[in-house]
């Protein structure tokens, strides 16, 4: 298991370093295609850019889905003073991006670093800094260029509609913690890459047909609505377990979600996941997430006739600067491996 976890962490670090806010995912798609080809698979892509991988097996096809798109922003407008106003990609509180370093990606291929700040942010100048409500109207992106007019910014080929990615600030500690933006859902994307490598290298016998699907629009709600092979009957989103009050999961567990914002997950799928977690003596939790939706929810809302489930490693501070642990990765990897290699 140590080998699989080392590979998973290495992939998580690589994935987090690749900017991929929803709608701007070509680079991370290319990384997945290259990595799976190197592992000996033949990945394909959907029209929307999702990466699909056939792991093998026969009968009652299951798809394990993770998403590689992340939160981010777009340039909404350029102010007269050369600062950039933003619009959000995905849902997060604005205070989670205050003082964050970021990159502006222009449509012409140029990149500019910058920082997202409160307007008039100096505590030595503005006595109302503490009391100012953090909204995008009160914040701006300051680019790291000598510009002070709208015209000067336009001359850099920056315009409305350019994507903005947030610095991931990824750290892996000696004690096994992984801290970074975008662990939702690059942590589980790394887990599924490790699962594929494990299957290929050790020729693990699959008890059914298994696909991996890496979606590219989950954070805006329609990542999992399309792109499935015709033989898929069941889907498990391998995403994250949110850590918080009134919940049992933490960074060391695999979370099994029984119900999210769109309703309960399939009874049989969820029950089997719980039974396998007990059988393996995993550190796990069963939780309910009233403010959470997954690609599996999106698939059913789009009309797909799937049984569906949701699991993932516990992740603290979701949609902010997130944290998980090697133990959570291991428990999740062991559970998905057992699910596809053990007969019912």
The whole-number pLDDT of residue 344 equals 80
The whole-number pLDDT of residue 343 equals 86
The whole-number pLDDT of residue 30 equals 98
What's the pLDDT tens digit per position in 203-230?
999 999 999 999 999 999 999 999 999 9
What's the pLDDT tens digit per position in 77-92?
999 999 999 999 999 9
**Contact assessment for residue 7 and residue 194, using Cβ atoms and an 8 Å cutoff:** yes
Q: What percent of the chain has pLDDT over 70?
A: 100
**How much is the pTM?**
0.98
- In the chain, where are the structural domains located? 2-70+182-341, 74-166
Catalytic residues: 218
2-70+182-341 and 74-166, same CATH topology: no
**263: helix, strand or coil:** strand
For residue 53, pLDDT over 90 is answered with: yes
What average pLDDT score do residues 60-88 get?
Answer: 98
DSSP state of 70: B
Please give the mean pLDDT across all residues of the chain. 97
**261: helix, strand or coil:** coil
Q: Within 10 A of 325 (CB to CB), how many other CB atoms are there? A: 22
CATH of 2-70+182-341, one of 3.40.630.10, 3.40.50.360, 3.30.450.40, 3.20.20.70: 3.40.630.10
The whole-number pLDDT of residue 12 equals 98
What average pLDDT score do residues 2-27 get?
Answer: 98
Alpha carbon of residue 220 to chain centroid: 12
**Contact assessment for residue 72 and residue 164, using Cβ atoms and an 8 Å cutoff:** yes
What's the pLDDT tens digit per position in 95-133?
999 999 999 999 999 999 999 999 999 999 999 999 999
The whole-number pLDDT of residue 63 equals 98
3-state DSSP: the chain helix, strand, coil percent, rounded to 5? 30, 30, 40
What is the spatial distance between Cα 204 and Cα 59, in angstroms, rounded to a whole number?
Answer: 16
Helix (H) or strand (E) holding 236: strand 232-238
CATH 2.40.30.40 assigned to 74-166: yes
Q: Within 10 A of 68 (CB to CB), how many other CB atoms are there? A: 26
What average pLDDT score do residues 311-340 get?
Answer: 98
Can you give the C-alpha Rg of the chain in angstroms? 21
CA distance readout (Å), 309 to 57, 104, 142, 327: 20, 36, 42, 21
What's the pLDDT tens digit per position in 131-174?
999 999 999 999 999 999 999 999 999 999 999 999 999 999 99
């Amino acid at each position: 298991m140590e080998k699989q976890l080392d590979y998973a962490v290495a992939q998580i670090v690589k994935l987090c370093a690749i900017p991929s806010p929803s709608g701007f995912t070509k680079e991370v798609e290319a990384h997945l295609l290259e990595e799976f080809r190197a592992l000996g698979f033949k990945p394909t892509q959907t029209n929307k850019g999702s990466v699909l991988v056939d792991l093998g097996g026969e009968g009652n096809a299951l798809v394990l889905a993770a998403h590689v798109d992340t939160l981010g922003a777009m340039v909404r407008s350029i102010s007269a003073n050369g600062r950039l106003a933003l619009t959000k990609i995905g849902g997060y509180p604005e205070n989670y991006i205050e003082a964050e370093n970021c990159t502006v990606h222009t449509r012409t291929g140029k990149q500019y670093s910058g920082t997202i700040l409160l307007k008039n942010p100096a505590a030595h100048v503005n006595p109302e800094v503490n009391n100012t409500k953090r909204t995008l109207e009160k914040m701006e992106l300051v680019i790291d260029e000598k510009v002070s007019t709208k015209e000067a910014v336009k001359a850099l080929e920056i315009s409305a509609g350019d994507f903005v990615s947030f610095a991931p600030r990824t750290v892996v500690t000696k004690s096994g913690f992984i801290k970074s933006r975008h662990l939702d859902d690059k942590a589980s994307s790394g887990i599924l890459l490790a699962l594929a490598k494990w299957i290929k290298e050790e020729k693990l016998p699959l008890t059914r047909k298994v696909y991996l699907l890496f979606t590219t629009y989950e954070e805006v709600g329609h990542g999992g609505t399309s792109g499935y092979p015709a033989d898929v009957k069941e889907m498990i989103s391998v995403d994250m377990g949110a850590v918080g009050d009134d919940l049992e999961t933490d960074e060391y567990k695999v979370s099994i979600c029984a119900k999210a914002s769109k309703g309960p997950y399939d009874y049989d799928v969820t029950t089997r996941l719980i039974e396998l977690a007990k059988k393996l003596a995993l550190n796990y939790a069963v939780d309910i997430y009233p403010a959470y939706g997954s690609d599996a929810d999106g698939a059913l809302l789009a009309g797909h006739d799937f049984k569906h489930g949701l699991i993932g490693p516990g992740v603290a501070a979701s949609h902010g600067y997130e944290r998980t642990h090697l133990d959570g990765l291991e428990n999740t990897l062991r559970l998905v491996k057992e699910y596809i290699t053990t007969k019912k």
